Amino acid sequence: MDIPLRTYATMQDRPAPLCYSRTWDNGVSSIGDARDAVADLLGRARPAPDRRSVQDAQLVVSELVTNAAKHAPGPCALRLELLPGSTALRVCVTDTSGEPLRQRPPDPRRVGGHGLRLVSKLAAALEVTRLARGKRVTATVPLTGATAL
């Protein structure tokens, strides 16, 4: 396939997206490490996302990684990818459970079981992909740029 030179040159000038990935062989050792990875990655984003966006992204990652650690035996993985222009963070969590995600009905008296509802509210998109062994949950968290004071 021939790619016009102008298109090819434009593709070559794009900076590589900021990414992070981590795999845990025997379940997640620290959810805090996953939240820290979000803060570190978004700290390098330009334009920098505002504090609320970083906190939202950390909450989404924390909930998805916690669910993988709690409900799936064996290894799991986290991949973070900053989309062009720092407009959103794509979060992918892969685990070994074939069980679908289940959003429980709201119950303010219940402790726990609210994570998927939070993720659904904070993510612009939430997708579950079945894999040969397990599933991949992908959430796209919108980021708002920090405003100058």
Q: Is residue 55 part of a domain?
A: yes
4 falls within a domain? no
CATH code, domain with 81: 3.30.565.10
Residue matched to tokens 């397990």: 134
pTM, two decimals, is: 0.82
Note whether residue 132 is domain-resident: yes
In-domain check, residue 28: yes
Q: Please report, in tens digits, the pLDDT of each residue of the chain (149 residues total).
A: 445 444 444 445 556 679 999 988 876 667 899 999 999 999 999 999 999 999 999 999 999 999 888 888 788 999 999 999 999 999 999 999 988 888 777 777 767 767 898 999 999 999 999 999 999 999 999 999 765 44
Residue 148: inside a domain: no
Closest-CA residue to 143 (of 117, 124, 121, 118): 124
83 falls within a domain: yes
pLDDT at 7: 42
Distance CA 41, CA 26 (A): 24
- Domain assignment present for residue 138? The answer is yes
Q: In whole angstroms, what is the distance from residue 73 CA to residue 95 CA? A: 8
- Residue 7 phi, psi (nearest 5): -65, -45
Whole-angstrom CA distances from 64 to 14, 17, 41, 44, 92 are: 30, 22, 17, 23, 9
Distance CA 123, CA 67 (A): 16
Those residues with Cβ within 8 angstroms of residue 3's Cβ, 6 or more apart along the chain or in another chain: 11
| Domain presence at residue 96 | yes
Work out how many domains the chain is built from and give that number.
1
The pair phi, psi for residue 133, each rounded to 5°, is -135, 85
Which residues form the domain of 111? 17-142
Nearest CA-CA partner of 63 in 35, 23, 83: 35
